[in-house]
Every structure is written in structure tokens, then in C-alpha cells.
Copies of this chain bind each other. A is one copy, B any other.
Amino acid sequence: MSKKVVVLLSGGMDSTTLLYFLRNSGFDCFPLTISYGQSHAKEILAARNVCEKLGLILSWKLVNMDCLKTLLPSALTGVGKVPEGQYDDSSMSQTVVPGRNLIFLAVAAGYAQGLGAGGVAYAAHSGDHSIYPDCRPEFIQSAAEAVRLGYEIDLLTPFSGIDKTEMVRIGSKLEVPYWMTWSCYVGGEYHCGKCGTCDERKDAFVKAGVSDPTVYNKL
């Protein structure tokens, strides 16, 4: 029997690539999407569509933790405006949602334990910015230790040694439907093409030499 694993799936490029990667590696995947009071639901719709496409809709779990919005102020949960243009440290720090990653890992670990799954997978990659301290390897390592000791759950981060460009190359070979995924922080009809995460998205496709299927707003 293949190993059960809970996959934290936001509906963005990284976690969708992770889901395809693990499926392709023979894992029995249980995608978990957490709504935390994001200003828009585009990512969540993307996560659902990806699960539908993979025939995983019945294994997909969406949990509403919008209650966190009142605790965790951030531009992404409606406090302030999402900064435009290439991110510097100051504008990017406005998009930090305090505590988010550890909360997600802890919730996923609890869910995994209830399911009898042995692992939780999380799409941390080396391109995650140093301004997000809870994306750094030292943090991931100590969180993995806590999850292992507290819940006997393994934390799987197969992309931790590669960057977003390399990830797109892998995903492209696995035929990840990137057109279905959502990155933009703004959440209009199409990707805005202007915010920091749209910039990163475009950049990864260009550097990977993979054609970008995203529809961006005309600038």
C-alpha cells in the first residue's frame, strides 16, 4: 500500500507542483487547503480545480480558519493594501501573515494523525525569501522536529533544495496545469502582472524556459 500523506495545497504553483510530484512518486495524497481569511478566494478555487482534475476531489479537505483573520493582521488578510512592483524587504514584510506556516503545519499534522497518514508535505523551496522567516531552512527543521516528536508525523519538503525555476522545470515535465494555479495577491479576474508574486511567477517561467500559460491583465 502506498504511503498516505497530507499535502498542504494553497492552489499556487509551488504546492500544485508538489502534489503532482508526490502523486507521481506513488504517494496516496490527501490535499488540505486552509482558508485563513485571504482577501480573495482565487487560490482556493484553484486548489479545488486542481484536485478535481487529478480525481482527488473526494480526498480534498478545505478547512475554514477565517477566524485567524482577527488574530493575524497582514495585507493578505485585508489589513492595508497589497504592495505593487518588485518586492523589497519593506513591501514584502507587509505580506507576512504572522504565524501562518507553523499554524498550517500543526493543523496538517493533527489532520494527518487522525487520518492515519505518516507524513505532511509542504512546498518550501530555496527561493522563499529571507523576509519570510518561517520559510527558512532552520525554521523548517525545528518545525519538522516538533511535528515528529509531538505527533510522529514526518515533514516532507522535497523542494527545499531547489528554487522556483527548477520547480517549474520539474512541474512542466509532470504536465502540471499551471494555467489552473493562482499566484496573484490582488485577486482580480486575471493575474495583475504587477504585484511581487506575479513578478516571481513570470520570472520562473522565463528562467525555466517554459512557456507561461498565465493570463495577465494588460498593463
| Residue ranges of A at the interface with B (Cβ–Cβ < 8 Å) | 61, 63-65, 67-68, 70-73, 97-103, 105-107, 109-111, 113-114, 133-134, 136, 138-139, 142-143, 145-147, 149-152
Question: Chain B's nearest CB lies how many Å from the CB of A216?
Answer: 32
Question: Chain B's nearest CB lies how many Å from the CB of A79?
Answer: 9
* Nearest chain B residue, comparing its CB with the CB of A134: B150
Interface of A is mostly: helix
* Nearest chain B residue, comparing its CB with the CB of A74: B114
> Which residue of B99, B105, B111, B152 contacts A133 across the interface (Cβ within 8 Å)?
B152
Known: A67-B64, A67-B65, A133-B149. A106 touches B103 (CB 8 A): yes
Assess whether B146 is in contact with A139, with CB atoms less than 8 Å apart.
Answer: yes
Task: Give the complex CA separation of A7 and B149 in angstroms.
Answer: 23
Task: Give the complex CA separation of A97 and B150 in angstroms.
Answer: 11
Question: Chain B's nearest CB lies how many Å from the CB of A170?
Answer: 26
Contacts of A72 in B (CB 8 A): 110-111, 114
